[in-house]
Amino acid sequence: MEDDKIVQLYLNRDETAIRQTSEKYGSRLRAISYRITSDRETSEECVNDTYLETWNRIPPSDPKDYFYAFLAKITRALSIDRCRERTRLKRDSYIVELTSELEMCIPAVNDVADDVEAKLLGEAISRYLYTLSDEKQVMFIRRYFYLDTVSEIANRLSISDSKVKTTLFRVRNELRNYLIQEGYTL
Partner 1 sequence: MKKDKLDSIGYIDNQLIEKAESYISSKKKNTWIKWSAMVACLCLVVGGLFTINRPVEAPLVISGELPKIVIPEYEIGGMGFEGLMYFSAEELENGNPWREDMELVTLPVFKNGCYDPTGAGVPLGLSETKMIAELESAAKALGLEILDTKAETDNMISENDMIVSGDTVYSICAITGRGNLTIYANGSLVYDLPDDYELPEGYHFTYSNISDSDAEAAMDYLTETYAPFLNYEHPEIVLQGEYSFSGDYIRRYIVYDSGTDMTENILNYNFCSTQFAPDDRGNLMLIRINNGLCMAEKLGDYPLISIAEAKEKLLDGQYQTSVPVGMPGEKYIAKVELVYRSGPQEETLLPYYRFYVELQDADGWQMMQSNGLKTYGAYYVPAIQDDYISNL
Buried b (16+ CB within 10 A) or exposed e, 45-82: bbbebbbebbeeebeeeebbeebeebbbebbbebbbeb
CB count within 10 Å of CB 174 equals 15
Which of 145/169 has CB closer to partner 1? 145
CB of 66 to partner 1, least distance (A): 4
Which of 182, 170, 72 lies closest to 123, judged by CA? 182
CA distance 37 to 23: 22
Measured from the CB atom, is 40 or 170 closer to partner 1?
Answer: 40
Task: Name the residue nearer to partner 1 (CB basis): 86 or 138.
Answer: 138
Helix (H) or strand (E) holding 36: helix 16-37
CB of 89 to partner 1, least distance (A): 12
Q: Kindly tell me which of 55 and 165 has the beta carbon lying closer to partner 1.
A: 55
